[in-house]
Structure 1
């Protein structure tokens, strides 16, 4: 029996939480946050769904529903991220593994986003960066390290 297409993303499954560092951006002021994620497999392992919440100063500051799948033509990992800011998730972030780090990138008319995930022994480190149109440098948006609290 062949493994599910997203077996390499097993580190994203379960309940995880941990500190995050939010950078000052046009969308948010900088400062510490707590990230909470619940990830589960769906469709016989063909998708992985994450419910993501970020809390700042005791209140929910950000919510997202992340849907991971693979492109059968290229094998790339695809990430469709729906969030409470309301921007559509098209096109999907497309990613591949660079050593032990999954790097996904997505470009729209608003700019480009880069999201990374690096498995750790008890969870993962992650980060998001943004690059405005016509700009060469990536600017940090958020970084964090989440640890498993339940499977």
Structure 2
């Protein structure tokens, strides 16, 4: 019998769907701060073991960032993992690791440039918040990078498992 996704995998379903978000960005070494719009398309895939996320950011009428995130639960480590790829030109580092606390999934991505903390806070079936912070000193201090409020587009519901 083929393995089946567990409750930990099914919890990722809360982020599945088509979303649009109002974002506020801080100045970073990679881009100037300001307001942006985020477009997020996510779906459960690989039999329900992986949440596949496509992300696109627009500012001033043009695309400024594209990214792909793959979320799963690593039962060997007992933690959620985020594999993150974007078009900023950096090779992906090790996957981020994290956990749920209440309705918030928080993961830490570590690279030679910084530590990035992503906190996805589910507010309802129709809305979630994302806060990304970076630390350039090993986690002693944190600087906001992005805050966003995302709402489901149209009458979209959670994506079915593919």
Q: Which category describes the TM-score, using the shorter chain as reference length?
A: over 0.9
Alpha carbons 2:129, 2:147 under 8 Å: kept = yes
SS at match of 1:102: strand
Q: CA RMSD in A?
A: 1.6
- Match among 96, 120, 140 for residue 93 of structure 1: 96
SS at match of 1:95: strand
Partner of residue 160, structure 2: none
- Determine the C-alpha separation between the residues in 2 that align with 1:90 and 1:5: 24
Query: For 1:37-116, what aligned pairs fall within 5 Å after superposition?
Result: 37-116=40-119
Alpha carbons 2:5, 2:48 under 8 Å: kept = no
Partner of residue 28, structure 2: 25
Partner of residue 133, structure 2: 129
What TM-score comes out, normalization by structure 1 length? 0.92
Residue 95 of structure 1: CA displacement? 0.7
Q: In structure 1, list runs of 5 or more residues that go unmatched.
A: none
Give structure 1 regions of 4+ aligned residues with deviation exceeding 4 angstroms. 1-5
1:147 matched to 2:126: no
Alpha carbons 2:72, 2:82 under 8 Å: kept = yes
Residue 18 of structure 1: CA displacement? 1.8
- Determine the C-alpha separation between the residues in 2 that align with 1:56 and 1:147: 18
Of Structure 1 and Structure 2, which has the larger fraction of its residues in strand? 1
Deviations 1:77-133 (A, max 9, x none): 100110001322221110111232111012222121100001122121001111113
- Determine the C-alpha separation between the residues in 2 that align with 1:132 and 1:11: 31
- Determine the C-alpha separation between the residues in 2 that align with 1:57 and 1:45: 36
Alpha carbons 2:5, 2:47 under 8 Å: kept = no
Alpha carbons 1:109, 1:133 under 8 Å: kept = no
SS at match of 2:13: helix
Q: In structure 2, list runs of 5 or more residues that go unmatched.
A: 158-162
